């Protein structure tokens, strides 16, 4: 409900001053700011989820790459060991 109050002030010198105040009892709407903030929060959460998901994928890829490199190093070390064994056998055969 809208209510209007008019106050009239009379000064001793004879001048009058009028002041009008309007009161509105209806609830105010948020103007959409609440919805905007909710959308921003949802987008921020979605972006964070996306980045965290990609981080775990990159960790798995990194771990797989390290495991593959370790296998190659192990195979190379085995070849060096075999070559050293063969060289030692040839040296003792003479």
> What global pTM score does this model have?
0.37
Return the percentage of the chain with pLDDT > 70, whole number.
95
Which spans in 1-94 are helix H?
A: 33-93
Please report, for residues 5, 26, 39, 42, 79, the alpha-carbon distance to residue 45 in angstroms, rounded to integers and kept in the order given: 49, 35, 10, 5, 51
Mean pLDDT of 86-90: 83
* List of residues 6+ apart from 18 with CB closer than 8 A: 6, 7, 8, 9
Q: Which residue has the higher pLDDT, 41 or 51?
A: 41
pLDDT mean over 44-73: 84
Q: What is the pLDDT of residue 30?
A: 64
| Backbone CA torsion sign across 22, 28, 32, 33 | positive
């Amino acid at each position: 409900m809208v209510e209007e109050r008019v106050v009239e002030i009379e000064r001793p010198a004879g001048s009058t001053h009028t002041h009008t105040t309007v009161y509105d009892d209806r609830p105010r709407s948020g103007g959409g700011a609440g919805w905007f903030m909710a959308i921003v929060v949802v987008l921020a959460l979605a972006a964070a989820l996306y980045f965290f998901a990609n981080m775990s994928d990159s960790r798995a890829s990194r771990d797989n790459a390290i495991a593959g490199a370790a296998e190659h190093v192990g195979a190379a070390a085995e070849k060096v060991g075999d070559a050293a064994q063969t060289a030692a056998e040839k040296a003792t055969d003479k």
